[in-house]
Chains A and B, each alone.
Chain A
């Protein structure tokens, strides 16, 4: 009776390790297969990703709430320390802004009068959906976040996502209750922009770092640090004139842009439907991989 189990074990143990080794290699091969599948059929992988995200959305929402509360508490505490300095600064700024307001009012009425004279066609006004950020604000290899609004709330692929300071990205995947936002800093993000002062066109490209780069500038373009960058509206993905950031540095390595939006502090974002559909044309989507679409914006 003592013999049998040990004899069995003598055969079974190496067999088991053999099976396990095969399973290990099989799973590694499967992972490589999935990576290739993501390259070949990005649409399918995106759909699966959207569905899984949707399933986990309630859990993420539940966990993100207390963390947001704690961070808000900490922030309040930190702000207490600098409240006097802040107050002085704000008073100064307020005085400056009141001057600006007068100027802006004058320009606004002048602009309206001139536009009426010329019969300018207005862009459609946007519809907004506010949503809470429930997951991610970037990682070492991806820069995206998940918000708790989806198809049920009227969010669609390609909609612009803005915070109080400016544009932060666009909706890249959407399912019923959640949507994934591709941030401007993501390596796959390409946004047509303008340098506000001299109307030079450029493309702003992310690189998975906190700053983005301006590429494809026309030859002889003049860029200086602290130039404001706004969306140009080319390609029909974003409406023109949304604030993006300022030029931080101009070097041989490229033109770096410091974005207005602070991704780490985002709690609520607004998803704007400007009635544009430049990027959501599915025929364009299919013909080129998902991550390239942002770069090759086409005009319809």
Chain B
């Protein structure tokens, strides 16, 4: 009985980690790095997380969790509330609809997929921010933000894959 309770708790703790890691990335993306010029083009780290878990464990990162992550990203970053909610939901929606394509594909294909989907996300965020401010936003910042997030993808995704192998194997 007691063992069963502990097992259940253990499973729950493991199941909650995709959301927890995403939440951590949201917070990490707003912490000042003191690198000159980095802040303007700081990548949205949670995008990698949402992409990754939508491919491998969408049941552990449900829709409303994605919504919450977007909301928190907006509130902390100071972007118009709703902007990153829409971006995250778009990425999640696209990946889920194309899940069959991603199943069992190699890491490079996943990276390529991320390049395409995060391009959509960048353009969407730029359009939304421009519409909100009724002024065209600086396109350079978004471009470099996109390139930087492409470069960061393998690092974050590799950590997530390791995490998945270590803690989320049984389900």
Contacts and interface: CB of A to CB of B under 8 A. Distances in A.
Interface of A: 20, 23-24, 27-28, 30-35, 37-39, 45, 48-49, 52-53, 56, 59-60, 63-64, 67-68, 71-72, 75, 133-146, 180, 187-188, 207-210, 262-267
Nearest to B131: A35
B75 A48 contact: yes
B27 interface: yes
Interface stretch (B2-10, B11-19, B77-85, B153-161): B77-85
A239 B124 CA distance: 40
Contact of B27 (A35, A59, A143, A207): A59
Contact of B34 (A24, A30, A56, A71): A71
B166 interface: no
Interface stretch (B46-54, B98-106, B110-118, B135-143): B135-143
Interface of chain B, main secondary structure? helix
A52 B74 CA distance: 11
A35 to B, nearest CB: 3
A264 B40 CA distance: 9
A135 B27 CA distance: 9
Contact of B82 (A34, A52, A67, A266): A34
B82 A53 contact: no
Interface of B: 27-28, 30-42, 63-64, 67, 70-72, 75-83, 85-86, 89, 93, 125-126, 128-129, 132-133, 135, 137-138, 140-142, 145
A264 B78 contact: no
Contacts of B142: 140
A30 B71 CA distance: 11
Nearest to A132: B32
Given A31-B89, A208-B138, A38 B82 contact: yes
A185 B125 CA distance: 19
> Which 5 pairs show the lowest CB-CB distances between chains A and B?
A35-B82, A71-B34, A142-B78, A31-B85, A34-B82
A63 B31 contact: yes
A45 B76 contact: no
Given A67-B31, A142-B79, A180-B78, A31 B70 contact: yes
A75 B34 CA distance: 10
B48 to A, nearest CB: 16
B80 A64 contact: no
Nearest to B32: A137
Contact of B64 (A27, A75, A187): A27
B94 to A, nearest CB: 11
Given A35-B81, A39-B132, 20 more contacts: A31-B67, A31-B86, A33-B82, A35-B132, A37-B81, A52-B76, A63-B28, A63-B31, A134-B32, A137-B32, A138-B39, A139-B39, A139-B40, A140-B42, A141-B80, A141-B83, A141-B125, A180-B78, A208-B141, A209-B138
Contact of B32 (A23, A68, A72, A180): A68
A170 to B, nearest CB: 14
B143 to A, nearest CB: 9
Contacts of B63: 20, 23-24, 27
Contacts of A145: 32
A72 B33 CA distance: 10
A142 B41 CA distance: 11
Nearest to B125: A141
Given A34-B82, A35-B132, A142 B27 contact: no
Given A28-B86, A31-B82, A37-B81, A266 B32 contact: yes
B86 to A, nearest CB: 5
Contacts of A187: 133, 135, 137
Q: Which of A34, A68, A134, A143 has the most CB of B within 10 A?
A: A34
Given A63-B31, A135-B30, A141-B125, A35 B40 contact: no
Contact of B72 (A28, A31, A32, A52): A52
Contacts of A33: 82
A281 B138 CA distance: 32
Contacts of A142: 77-79
Contacts of A34: 71, 81-82, 85
B32 A144 contact: no
A210 to B, nearest CB: 7
27 contacts: A20-B63, A27-B64, A28-B86, A30-B85, A31-B67, A31-B85, A31-B89, A34-B82, A35-B128, A38-B80, A48-B81, A71-B35, A72-B34, A135-B30, A135-B31, A135-B76, A136-B30, A138-B40, A139-B39, A140-B41, A140-B142, A141-B129, A142-B79, A180-B78, A187-B135, A208-B138, A262-B36
